[in-house]
Amino acid sequence: MSLLIESKPFGKIEIEERQIIHFANGLFGFEKYSRYAFIEESPDSPFKWLQCLEDKNLAFIVIQPELFTSSYHPIIPPSELKTIKVTKNEDALVMVIVTIPDTDPNLMTANLQGPILINPKELIGGQFISRDETHPVRKLILENNKTPEPV
Q: Provide the binding-site residues for another protein, judged by CB under 8 A.
A: 9-10, 27-30, 41-42, 44-47, 57-61, 67-68, 77-80, 97-102, 105-106, 108, 111, 113-114, 127, 129, 133, 137-138, 142, 144-145, 150
Which of 77/121 has CB closer to another protein? 77
Q: 28 vs 46, 115, 127, CA distance in Å? A: 23, 11, 7
CA dist 23 and 116 (Å) reads: 10
Which of 1/29 has CB closer to another protein? 29
**Cα–Cα nearest to 137, from 19, 28, 5:** 28
Kindly state the smallest distance separating residue 58's Cβ from another protein, in Å: 6
Computed on alpha carbons and rounded to an integer, the radius of gyration of the chain in Å comes to 16
* Residue 66, φ and ψ in degrees, nearest 5: -65, -10
Kindly state the smallest distance separating residue 85's Cβ from another protein, in Å: 15
Which of 45/121 has CB closer to another protein? 45
Kindly state the smallest distance separating residue 123's Cβ from another protein, in Å: 21
CA dist 98 and 15 (Å) reads: 22
Kindly state the smallest distance separating residue 141's Cβ from another protein, in Å: 8
Q: What's 148's DSSP letter?
A: P
